[in-house]
Structure 1
Amino acid sequence: MPHPLAALALSMASALGAAPTPSPPAASPPAVRFEPAGSERAEQARRLLKESDALRTKIRLPRAVEVVARDCDGRSAAWDAQESRITICYSMVDRMDRTLTGISETEEADARAADRRLDAALTAFFHHELGHALGTLGGLEDPEGQADTLAALTLAADRPGQAVPAAEARHLLAAGHAGLGHLAGEEESATFACLLYGADPAANAAIAKGGWVPAERAPSCAGEYQEARAAAGPLISRSP
Structure 2
Amino acid sequence: MPHSLAALALSMVSALGAAPTPSPPAASPPAVRYEPAGSERAEQARRLLKESGSLRTKIRLPRAVEVVARDCDGRSAPWDARESRITVCYSLVDRLESTLTGISETEEADARAIGRRVEAALTAFFHHELGHALGTLEGLPDAEDQADRLAALTLATDRPEQAVAAAEARHLLAAGHAGLGHLAGEEESATFACLLYGADPARNAAIAKGGWVPAERAPSCAAEYQQAKSAAGPLIVKGP
What band does the TM-score fall into relative to the shorter chain?
A: over 0.9
Secondary structure of the corresponding residue to residue 69 of structure 1: strand
What are the equivalent positions in structure 2 for 1:1-240 lying under 5 Å apart? 3-17=3-17, 21-75=21-75, 78-240=78-240
Secondary structure of the corresponding residue to residue 156 of structure 1: helix
Change (3 A) 1:24 1:181: same
Q: Distance in 1 between matches of 2:76 and 2:44?
A: 16
Length, aligned pairs only:
240
CA contact (8 A) 1:75 1:91 kept: no
CA positional deviation for 1:20: 8.5
Secondary structure of the corresponding residue to residue 183 of structure 1: coil
CA contact (8 A) 1:34 1:68 kept: yes
CA positional deviation for 1:14: 2.3
Q: What amino acid does structure 2 have at the position aligned with 1:238? A: K
CA positional deviation for 1:3: 3.6
CA contact (8 A) 2:32 2:67 kept: yes
Q: What amino acid does structure 1 have at the position aligned with 2:101? A: T
Q: What amino acid does structure 1 have at the position aligned with 2:183? A: L
Gaps spanning 5+ residues in structure 1: where? none
CA contact (8 A) 1:6 1:224 kept: no
CA contact (8 A) 2:55 2:126 kept: yes
CA positional deviation for 1:103: 1.0
The percentage of counterpart residues that share the same residue type is: 87
Q: Distance in 1 between matches of 2:165 and 2:202?
A: 15
Q: Distance in 2 between matches of 1:22 and 1:153?
A: 16
Q: Distance in 1 between matches of 2:237 and 2:144?
A: 21
CA positional deviation for 1:186: 0.5
Secondary structure of the corresponding residue to residue 78 of structure 2: strand
Instruction: Return the TM-score normalized by structure 2.
Output: 0.96
Q: Distance in 2 between matches of 1:207 and 1:219?
A: 12
Q: What amino acid does structure 1 have at the position aligned with 2:137? A: L
Q: Distance in 1 between matches of 2:64 and 2:179?
A: 29
Aligned-residue RMSD, C-alpha: 1.6
Instruction: Return the TM-score normalized by structure 1.
Output: 0.96
Q: Distance in 2 between matches of 1:45 and 1:113?
A: 18
CA positional deviation for 1:4: 1.6
Q: Distance in 1 between matches of 2:20 and 2:213?
A: 36
Runs of 4 or more off by more than 4 Å in structure 1? 18-21
